[in-house]
Amino acid sequence: MNEFQHALILLTSSLAFSVNASETTALSKGEYLARAADCVACHVVPGGKAYAGGLEFKLPFGSLYSPNITPDEETGIGKWTDDEFVDALQKGVGKDGKHYYPAFPYTSYTLMSREDILAIKGYLFSLEPVKQLPPENKLSFPFNQRWGMMFWNMIFASSERFVPDSRQSAEWNRGAYLVQGPGHCGECHTPRNIFQAMSAGQSLAGAELGNWQAYNISSDIQHGIGAWPEEAIVSYLSKGFAPGFGAAGGPMGDAVEHSLRHLEPADIKAIAVYLKSTPARNDGIVRPALAVNEAALQKGLGLKLFNDTCVACHLPDGSGRQSPGGLAGLKSVNDPSGRNLIATLLEGHTPLAARADQRMPDFARSYSDEELAAVSTFVLRRFGQSNGQIKTEHIEKSRENALH
C-alpha cells in the first residue's frame, strides 16, 4: 500500500465517522424533541407499541383515535415527505391535504421550527415500523366533516413560528419555547370555548380533562403557581411531586413519566422561570394552607376506611411513610369537587420511575361507591380547607367516565 492509498483510506474513514456522528447527533436531538413534545403519550394504547397510535380521545361530539406515526408505509407515516410532516405539525394538514382536529396540538406545534420538526421525523423514521390501523373516528355531524377545519383554522389557528423576545433572557426564551411549542402546556391547562379552541385571555388558567382537572399554572399567587418556589416547580416537573405544593397524577403524571423527567435540568429550570412570569389568572382552586384540619377527626365510615387502608402509607397526619410529600397542601385535597382525588382513587398512579412502595394502587374494584365517597369526604375535610363533601353519584359519574 502506497502513501496515497493509505491517506485515502484514512480520509474515507474520517468522513464515514463524521457522517455517523452527525446522524447520531440528529437522532438524539429528534428523540429529545419527541420526548419534549410528549408524542408517545398520545400515540400509544395501554400495553401497546409506542407510536403505533389507537388511543381514544373523548370529545363532546364523539371520539377520535390517534394515528400510527411509526415508519410503516401502509398504516403509518413511512411514505410521508418532509413537507407533509412539517405541514401536519405547523398547519394541521397532513398527507393528501387531510385536515386534523385540534385534539392534535398543532396549534402549539406550529411555533416549532422546520429544523426541529424534521429532527422528530428523522427519529420516528429510525424506529421499527409497526403495522397497525387505528379504529375509525366516531364523530357526529357536522364535526365529522374534516373540510370544515379549514374555516376553523382561519379563525383560531396561527401559522407563526416562535420569535424570541429580545427583552428577556435566553433562559426565559427557552422556557417560553418549550411551554408554548413542543411542550404544548396550554393545550391541557387552558379552558376551551364552544368551538374547542383555547380561550383567549385565559391562558394556563386550568381546564377539565375527562375525569381530571388540569390546574391553573399561571403566575397567580392564590390560584396558580406564583407562590411556588422555583425549586418546587422544578421538583414537580422532573419528579412528579413538590412537597407541600403538588403531586402529579392522571394525564400530568403521564406527562412527567414519558416527557418532562427526561428533559435536561437546564430546560426544566427554564420552564419554571417562564411559568413564574406568565400573566396571572385568578381562576380555579385556591392553594390550601399547609395544615391539617384536626376538627375533621370525626367518627364514621371515612375515618375507618382511611385508618384501615390509607394510614399504612400516608400516616395519620398525611405526612407519608414512603412518599416524599404529604397530603396537606395539595390542591387535590382542597378542591371541593374532589375531581382529581376521586380519579386517583379509581385509577391509581403507578409511574415506572417511582419505587414500588411509592406507587398508588387503584381502589375501583376494592370499594363501593359509598365507601369511596366516604373516604374522599374524610380526606377533603381532614387535609383540605374547603369542607367539601363527595356523594355516591360523584363516584358513579367518575366511574362511568373512566369506563367510557
Q: Are the beta carbons of 173 and 212 closer than 8 angstroms?
A: no
Task: Supply 389's cell numbers.
Answer: 363533601
CA distances from 141 to 51, 64, 106, 284, 344 (A): 29, 14, 23, 33, 34
Q: Give residue 340's Cα distance to chain centre.
A: 15
| CA atoms of 187 and 192, how far apart (whole Å) | 9
* Location of C-alpha cell 415506572: 352
| CA atoms of 161 and 177, how far apart (whole Å) | 10
Stretch (H or E) spanning 209: strand 207-209
99 a known binding residue? no
Give the chain's length.
Answer: 404
39 a known binding residue? yes
Upper half-sphere CA count for residue 230 (Cβ side, 13 Å): 13
Query: Which stretches of 39-160 are DSSP H helices?
Result: 39-42, 82-91, 106-109, 114-124, 149-156
Question: Which residue(s) pair with 198 in the sheet?
Answer: 192
Question: Of 386, 239, 261, 264, which Cα lies nearest the Cα of 325?
Answer: 239
Task: Supply 201's cell numbers.
Answer: 385571555
Work out the number of other CB atoms within 10 angstroms of the CB of residue 317. 14
258 a known binding residue? no
* Location of C-alpha cell 374534516: 146
Query: Which stretches of 276-338 are DSSP H helices?
Result: 301-305, 311-314
| CA atoms of 211 and 284, how far apart (whole Å) | 16
First to last CA, the chain: 72
Work out the number of other CB atoms within 10 angstroms of the CB of residue 143. 17
394 a known binding residue? no
Annotated binding site: which residue ranges? 39, 42-43, 185, 188-189, 310, 313-314
Annotated binding-site ranges for heme c: 39, 42-43, 185, 188-189, 310, 313-314
